[in-house]
Chain A
Amino acid sequence: DAKTTQPNSMESNEEEPVHLPCNHSTISGTDYIHWYRQLPSQGPEYVIHGLTSNVNNRMASLAIAEDRKSSTLILHRATLRDAAVYYCILSRNYGQNFVFGPGTRLSVLP
């Protein structure tokens, strides 16, 4: 399985943008890049996913490098409710289980 590398932790001030990086240098051409987040004692929550092009949804934006070896999750205006562990996950096929790495623990300061 292709692996991902994320910083252990990041801090942001409330209402400021947050850029969460993820390296996946061994990504294959058919790997999708997924981002999930998890609040304490809750199930992982889907944030966004993409293959090659940048993606936007109501929660966040996903910027994918041209060589696909890295990606960045962008939260445009962090709120206190965005404080969570963010996981960057690669998934090759439909039906493939997710491999969760350590993720990035995001703290949002008021």
Chain B
Amino acid sequence: AAGVIQSPRHLIKEKRETATLKCYPIPRHDTVYWYQQGPGQDPQFLISFYEKMQSDKGSIPDRFSAQQFSDYHSELNMSSLELGDSALYFCASSRPGQGGGDTQYFGPGTRLTVL
């Protein structure tokens, strides 16, 4: 079965640079979520999109922005990178009618290292 695809898998940037992370949801999934997981921490919700509109916002810094495109893929743009942005970034997708609730399927993540 198709899974969530994230690219790149690894990214190394310098402080104050920008980074773009991409997420390709499972086909026919219309909702995308972004989570950040720092070293030794639990995943924290950043932002989500439903049908290309932002649906919820968590602890996402103002330096970050995201969008969902017409083909439902999503991009997380990060500017003025700081050392503390080094983390694993996960994308998850879901769709209605999955037997109740909201089963989110996570991608393998992008490991961002800021030097």
A residues at B contact (CB < 8 Å)? 32, 34, 36, 38, 41-46, 49, 51, 87, 91, 93-103
Contact = CB atoms under 8 A, between A and B. Distances in A.
22 contacts: A34-B101, A38-B43, A41-B109, A42-B109, A43-B108, A44-B43, A44-B90, A46-B105, A49-B103, A51-B101, A94-B96, A94-B102, A95-B48, A95-B50, A95-B56, A98-B43, A98-B92, A99-B45, A100-B35, A100-B42, A102-B42, A103-B42
Contact of B109 (A43, A46, A91): A43
Interface size class of chain B, counting residues whose CB lies under 8 Å from the partner chain:
20 to 34
Nearest to B4: A43
B94 A94 contact: yes
B65 interface: no
Given A43-B109, A46-B105, A96 B56 contact: yes
A108 B105 CA distance: 25
Interface in B100-115: 100-109, 111
Given A91-B101, A95-B50, A96-B56, A44 B106 contact: yes
Nearest to B88: A41
Contacts of A44: 43, 90, 92, 106
A103 to B, nearest CB: 7
B45 to A, nearest CB: 4
Main secondary structure of the interface of B (DSSP, over half): strand
Nearest to B111: A41
Contact of B101 (A36, A41, A49, A87): A49
Given A95-B31, A95-B102, A97-B45, A43 B90 contact: yes
A43 to B, nearest CB: 4
B106 A97 contact: no
B44 to A, nearest CB: 7
Among A36, A91, A97, A100, the most chain B Cβ lie within 10 Å of the Cβ of A97
Given A97-B48, A97-B56, A100-B43, 9 more contacts: A36-B106, A41-B111, A42-B108, A87-B42, A95-B55, A96-B102, A97-B45, A97-B58, A100-B35
